[in-house]
Amino acid sequence: MLSLKDLNPQQREAVTTTSGPVLLLAGAGSGKTRVIIYRIAYLIERMKVAPKHILAVTFTNKAANEMQERLREMLESTVKGLQVSTFHSLCVKILRKHIHHLEYRSNFTIYDASDQLSVIKGIIDDNGYQDTGLIDAKSAHFAIGQAKTWGKTPEDFLIQKHSMRDVLIGRVFREYQETLKGCNAIDFDDILNLTLELMKNYSEVRHELSELYRYIMVDEYQDTNRAQYELLRYLTQTHRNLCVVGDDDQSIYGWRGADIRNILDFEKDYAEAQIIKLEQNYRSTQTILTAANHVIENNDNRMVKTLWSDKRGGEQLGWIVGADEMEEMGKVTDQIRLQVMRSALQYRDHAILFRSNFQSRVIEEALRDGSVPYVVVGSTSFYDRKEVKDAIAYLRVVFNTRDEVNLHRIINYPKRGIGKTSLIHANMYCNQFHKPLFSILEKASEYSKISSEAARSMEYFAHTIRRYKLRFQNERMDQVFVDLLDEVGFIRELEKEKTDAKTKERRITCVLELLRSVQQYVSKNPDKTLKDYLERIMLFSKEDPKDEEANNAVTLLTLHSAKGLEFPYVFMVGMAEGVFPNKRALDEGGESEERRLCYVGITRAQKGLTFSMAKSRKRYSETLPQEPSRFLTEIDQNLFSKPVEGQLSERQKQANAQQARSQFFAQIKQMRGE
């Protein structure tokens, strides 16, 4: 029997308000998943709604499966027919039944990324577009995906007077769509867009689905894009029974198409909507929540809510400052080790959150040096990133020319005219004469099947490697590495990649971070050689820890990856202006989303929260002084165990002024004998 006794008053209201549009403003840690499950159970058990008429939409298959499992455990009655799925799973189901209206067959194929790239490459090759130097398959694939996310068509590229590159992308886009349709195939982005096309143009489909799904619930509504928003409008046109659950303060995915207007404008779109705020937090202490509230209330365009907890007080916020990033992370590592040694804590009780992927290098090295186990979640470990592995491959080949795995990795990267056919012939000669590949490269012109152009490139490449091998033995390792990457055009190759600006910047930043790590290594270990450095790097390439070890490890993850997770003790590192908030995001007008990201990070902590920063940071060859993040100075300094050094926020200035006035008047009263 369903009981609502364990719910707080606002949660009960959310569960029992079943008619018409409802917006549940669910703050971090407020038990929203529980509310959704209870609401579905209430509809089935108390309202006697047939499960088939209920639709619940989540953003991951894992969340959908967990929700269904919990409902099966809660309800004695069957939940057969209940639809709990992601938007894409729902739309595939709709398309299988109705896509014939769009002149596709119901047994359509969904192309994955490699299939899509293959089609696009064929179109570019067939039309000779690669000769223009303006597009390649990867860049066109990315541009088409972005266009579909924002609801653009090939004509949007073609009818406007865009650049020649945009025109070419429009042509590829148009032929790509025609090719897919001819193959009775769709891609991931088409799943939403074609469903939306069905809903717009075929009233019978729209009516059938609206009658079927009479009660619709959507989790993480702040993360929906415009296509998902429009789809929901069509599905609820007749009954308007739409319950959306979300938190505008946790909208952090604008860069991948999420539209915060969907939740901010909900009252405009549904004038009769009831808004219920879930503000009681069951995760964090009041100290942590007060800090989160102080940060987020500085965003203007938001729906006002204030998180609170019955876990009064709590540990004060920690504050760590290092002279540079290595010292910063050394102090963070020491504190984690100390907490594990002194308290009944495990390493797994701790998480380190950071803004950008390149930061993980310093974090990983500090933890390794401190013998602290860790796992990287939601992103690639720094030393496993492709651009980093490519750069290190040059060092490995210089040190050992017989390392043919890494030799194959770099022999034509950056491109130097050594194609697959030439490599096949070179490897054939290796087998024929029982020689290592590098020996063949050194005298490639002596082998008849290798073209003269490829042979020249091979010999020059081998000569370059030999020359740098000598330099590494006699000169400073960090400077020689810089010269090597510069001579082969490594950074220039990354700059030429036809990908989005953020990806390009991230890859270049990671390579520069690698160069900086070599510089730091040489500065601390002037007598060490290339062999010593490569042995150190090997530590970061060893096999993952066994499950029992991984279960007790510090979690490393970006702030974006942390959403939806929680940890007893959280360390938010790199809390300096330009790092977080990220300078690029600020330049693009994204301060509000950066502040929401900070809010998400703070609210991951259950018991303890520590911020850290470095007073200076190396940027290329320059050492830059750093100031604390503006987000830190927005927090009442009394919440910290020690004050944050830097510019005080207006809030703190006012609080300090009020305190000074109070002390002044207290002294006056004392002098008067009052």
In degrees and rounded to multiples of 5, residue 616 shows phi and psi of: -145, 155
pLDDT of residue 663: 52
Residue 32 is a catalytic residue: yes
Residue 542 has pLDDT above 50, yes or no: no
- Reduced to 3 states, what is the DSSP secondary structure of residue 576? strand
Residue 109 is a catalytic residue: no
What the block records as the tokens of 414 is 């950056």
Residue 33 is a catalytic residue: yes
Catalytic site residue from 17, 33, 274, 464: 33
Residue 670 has pLDDT above 80, yes or no: no
What are the beta bridge partners of residue 572? 353, 611
Residue 656 has pLDDT above 70, yes or no: no
Residue 224 is a catalytic residue: no
**Residues 624 and 583 sit within 8 Å (Cβ to Cβ):** no
CA neighbor of 281 nearest in space, from 566, 67, 575: 566
The Cα–Cα gap between 466 and 213 comes to 69
**Strand ranges (DSSP E) for 343-434?**
350-354, 374-376
What are the beta bridge partners of residue 322? 614
Residue 124 has pLDDT above 80, yes or no: yes
The Cα–Cα gap between 58 and 66 comes to 11
What the block records as the tokens of 491 is 């950074």
Catalytic site residue from 10, 11, 32, 283: 32
Query: Span 590-598, mean pLDDT?
Result: 95
Other CB atoms within 10 Å distance of the CB of residue 131: 9
pLDDT: which is higher, 223 or 662: 223
The Cα–Cα gap between 522 and 530 comes to 10
Query: Span 643-671, mean pLDDT?
Result: 55
Query: Phi/psi zone of residue 667: left (φ > 0), alpha (ψ -120 to 50 degrees), beta?
Result: alpha
pTM (2 decimals)? 0.79
Q: How far is CA 652 from CA 174, 343, 417, 572, 646, in A?
A: 56, 33, 62, 21, 12
pLDDT of residue 548: 41
Query: Span 530-551, mean pLDDT?
Result: 63
The Cα–Cα gap between 87 and 95 comes to 12
Residue 132 is a catalytic residue: no
Catalytic site residue from 175, 187, 220, 442: 220
CA neighbor of 305 nearest in space, from 318, 296, 317, 313: 296
What are the beta bridge partners of residue 352? 556, 571
Catalytic site residue from 604, 607, 617, 630: 604
Other CB atoms within 10 Å distance of the CB of residue 414: 15
Catalytic site residue from 250, 333, 626, 633: 250
What are the beta bridge partners of residue 110? 186
pLDDT of residue 216: 97
> Cβ neighbours of residue 457 under 8 Å, at least 6 residues apart?
416, 417, 418
Residue 432 has pLDDT above 70, yes or no: yes
Residue 499 is a catalytic residue: no
Catalytic site residue from 219, 249, 328, 634: 219
Residue 668 has pLDDT above 70, yes or no: no
Which tens digits make up the pLDDT trace of 85-110?
999 999 999 999 999 999 999 988 88
Q: Which residues of 583-612 are buried (b: 16+ CB within 10 A; e: fewer)?
A: eebeeeebbbbbbbbbbbbbbbbbbbbbbb
Residue 327 has pLDDT above 60, yes or no: yes
Query: Span 251-269, mean pLDDT?
Result: 89
pLDDT of residue 546: 39
Instruction: Name the one residue in this structure whose structure tokens are 């470095």.
Output: 614
Residue 146 identity: Q
**Residues 18 and 26 sit within 8 Å (Cβ to Cβ):** no
Query: Span 237-261, mean pLDDT?
Result: 92
The Cα–Cα gap between 394 and 407 comes to 8
242, burial (CB in 10 Å: exposed 0-12, middle 13-18, buried 19+): buried
pLDDT confidence bin for 545, thresholds 50/70/90? very low
In degrees and rounded to multiples of 5, residue 142 shows phi and psi of: -65, -45
pLDDT of residue 618: 76
- Reduced to 3 states, what is the DSSP secondary structure of residue 321? strand
In degrees and rounded to multiples of 5, residue 571 shows phi and psi of: -115, 120
% of the chain with per-residue pLDDT over 90: 59
Crossing angle for the helix pair 32-45 and 61-74, to the nearest 10 degrees? 50
**Residues 268 and 551 sit within 8 Å (Cβ to Cβ):** no
The Cα–Cα gap between 5 and 196 comes to 41
The Cα–Cα gap between 196 and 207 comes to 14
